[in-house]
Amino acid sequence: MLQSKLFYKTNKNKTAGVDSVSHDLLTRAGYVDQLMSGVYSFLPLGFLVLKKIENIIRKNMQSVGGQELLLPVLQPKENWIKTNRWDTLDILFKVKSSGDKEYAMGPTHEEIITPLAKKMVFSYRDLPFSVFQIQTKFRDELRAKSGILRTREFLMKDLYSFHSTQADFEVYYEKLAKVYANIYKEFGIGKITYRTMASGGSFSKYSDEFQTLTEAGEDIIFICKKCSFAVNKEIKVENPACPKCQNADFEEKKSIEVGNIFPLGTGFSKPFDLKFTDKDATEKPVIMGCYGIGLSRVLGTIVEASHDDKGIVWPKSVAPFLVHLIQIEQNPKVAKATKKLYLDLQKQNIEVLYDDRQKNPGEKFAESDLIGIPYRVVVSERTLAVNSVEVKERSKASVKLVKIKDLTKLF
């Protein structure tokens, strides 16, 4: 990508009146644009990151048999009446058609996937299975906050699993928990993300949240100093001792929820009468689970966890580009060499943003730091004199000269 053509603008002034780092940096670096409170546009840079996050999640969901599909955002009121959530779920967006018909804007999709499963599931032979989607969700939050960390419209992966027995469900649930841990590891936030015992809301007694430690978070979790088991504050209130090892010595941390998995039991299969005929010829309700990850929130969380005073420091796995190629001088020799390098890198499928603009070096470097691409490769007369380019990793302070022919071995 030529930076001169990229649809973005950076801003060196701090964003006024916001106190979350990710909101400030993502806005100033040209990743997102706020349309209104709790609603954001993802600009090309931000969208590239979102796609990286999406692909990591997709790959991991497929690894546990999840089949991808796409369910409607616009949903019939009757389904929500059936589960008693039309009037009780305060975050539910309701819209009216030009007639008088009312719809829900999907905040989640149990009300859709369960009746859909009813058309596919008749026998124990049809179970188990799991399906997932990556889609924009709508939740009428009373108070949006912290940039893209808590919004009214956000991208979410939701997977639903269906089982004939509780035992089968439990095995799958644990498998998902492991896959979730792997996903956060791939995002580069594995070490600060804790599987956390939490309340199950309206579905179940307990659920498991995945909480990433950050000051920008709105949750408080307690981590057992003995066994590292983590519980949400709401659980701690009821159980002063660690549910796992009974130790009562905890570390209290602020965190943000980047995923949540729930045992649904028969909470949705019963209202929608989703049942199957078992081996013994009796009809039984299907056991369900659901598993969510907010992609846009993850994006913000990674920035919260990985930045410095100059800007964002993307982990390689989710960076919009791997290499930020910067041409210092405008003379034909340097321009030609840089352009050649740009094309060569692309040929080798290395994602590169090429700063081909006529700007001062200082401005280019400052902007590069703000955008946060993992490798900065600088080409100038000075480096070309020794057939080299200068390479600096965004996460490191040191720079090194690398022969042009050896460059791709670095990545």
Partner RNA sequence: CGGGGUGUUGUGUAACGGUAGCACGAACGCUUUGGGAGCGUUUAGUCCGAGUUCGAAUCUCGGCACCCCGACCA
CB 358, min distance to RNA, A: 6
CB 175, min distance to RNA, A: 18
Nearest CB to RNA, comparing residues 51 and 310? 310
CA–CA dist 220, 305 (Å, integer)? 16
User: Which of helix, strand or coil describes residue 312?
Assistant: strand
CB 79, min distance to RNA, A: 13
Nearest CB to RNA, comparing residues 77 and 310? 310
Other CB atoms within 10 A of residue 41 CB? 11
CB 263, min distance to RNA, A: 9
Strands 352-355 and 323-327 turn out to be: parallel
CB 126, min distance to RNA, A: 21
Nearest CB to RNA, comparing residues 329 and 344? 329
Residue among 116, 42, 119 at smallest CA distance from 76: 116
Nearest CB to RNA, comparing residues 14 and 125? 14
CA–CA dist 179, 181 (Å, integer)? 5
Nearest CB to RNA, comparing residues 249 and 363? 363
CA–CA dist 316, 411 (Å, integer)? 10
Which residues lie below 8 Å from residue 296, measured CB to CB, with a gap of 6+? 40, 42, 50, 148, 151, 154, 155
Burial-class residue 336 by CB neighbours within 10 Å (0-12, 13-18, 19+).
Answer: exposed
CB 280, min distance to RNA, A: 29
Nearest CB to RNA, comparing residues 88 and 123? 88
**Which residues in this chain contact RNA in the complex, by CB under 7 A?**
9-20, 23, 34, 36-38, 89-91, 107-110, 139, 141-146, 158, 199, 201-203, 218-219, 260, 262, 264, 290, 292, 310, 328-330, 358-363, 365-370, 378, 380, 382-383, 390, 392, 399
